Amino acid sequence: MVSLEDAVVARYETGGNRFEILIDPQEAQRYSEGDEIDWEEAIAADGIWNDSAKGDRAPEHLVSDTFGTNNLIDIYKKILDEGTIQLTSQQRKEMVEQKKKQIVAHIVANAMNPQTGGPHPPQRIENAMDEARFSVDPMEPVEKQVEKLIKSIKMLIPISFEKVKVAIKIRAIHVGKCYGQISSLGNIESEEYQKDGSWIGIMEISAASFVKLEDSLGSLTKGTAETKML
């Protein structure tokens, strides 16, 4: 369980009433991104508060009438889904920086410069974010912010999220060490093993990942892997 000192307040206000929970800010962020979290570890003090700073608990009948349930986890979720997180300035700064890195990494891995066919360097994406004065939300999922960011920077830098299909053939001796690597780069749509043990598959990957795929397979198979863009 997170300590009270490290927890932040999540607050939901409705009908003139205030409801609060004390939660680990990192776990609140993970929940906002769609991850499952351990509520016993995430919540600093079980229950619902009217004013956590004063130690005032919310009356059970008021909680039940407002949320339509006494199930604490359901109530925690609604407060996080519809309420606000009261972060300290330092917590917000650290979480914004972390989320910014995740957004940049997502774009570098999945987008390309259509003029060169390769990925944009991370610094170029960061510079475009700064130029567009894009405001990173520490609690909003990466994918949603990427969509907003692309709209803001597509007039500043050429950028594309084009997907391509690639046919791959790997010799039997190299399949084991290659499979995990290629799986991390995209979606394997079909696959089969040949009589000699070699592996053939068709993948959908971002165009920006194609060069990385070729480089990885070339290194792992000593240049014996075969790839063909369909």
- Who contacts 192 (Cβ-Cβ below 8 Å, separation ≥6)? 199, 200, 201
Looking at the structure, tell me whether residues 149 and 190 fall in a common domain: no
Kind of pairing, strands 84-86 and 56-57? unpaired
The Cα 71–Cα 84 span in angstroms is 20
Q: Is residue 12 part of a domain?
A: yes
The Cα 147–Cα 125 span in angstroms is 14
Overall number of domains in the chain? 3
Q: What is the tens place of the pLDDT at every residue in 174-185?
A: 999 999 888 888
Q: Is residue 1 part of a domain?
A: no
Q: Is residue 177 part of a domain?
A: yes
HSE (side-chain half, CA atoms, 13 Å) at 57 = 6
Looking at the structure, tell me whether residues 76 and 113 fall in a common domain: no
| pTM reported for the whole predicted model | 0.69
Residue where a domain stops, chosen among 61, 86, 111:
86
Looking at the structure, tell me whether residues 148 and 167 fall in a common domain: no
Residue carrying the six token digits 């999540």: 10
Looking at the structure, tell me whether residues 211 and 177 fall in a common domain: yes
Share of the chain above pLDDT 70, in %: 100
Q: H/E/C letters for each residue in 7-67?
A: CEEEEEEECCEEEEEEECHHHHHHHHCCCCCCHHHHECCCCCEEECCCCEECCHHHHHHHH
Q: Is residue 158 part of a domain?
A: no
pLDDT band at 207 (very low <50, low <70, confident <90, very high): confident
Looking at the structure, tell me whether residues 221 and 203 fall in a common domain: yes
Q: What is the tens place of the pLDDT at every residue in 138-172?
A: 989 999 999 999 999 999 999 988 888 999 999 99
Looking at the structure, tell me whether residues 99 and 129 fall in a common domain: yes
CATH number of the domain encompassing residue 17: 3.30.1250.10
Range of the domain at 201: 163-229
Residue where a domain stops, chosen among 48, 63, 86:
86
Looking at the structure, tell me whether residues 190 and 218 fall in a common domain: yes
CATH number of the domain encompassing residue 181: 3.30.70.240
Of 196, 145, 152, 147, the closest CA to residue 175 belongs to 196
Q: Is residue 131 part of a domain?
A: yes
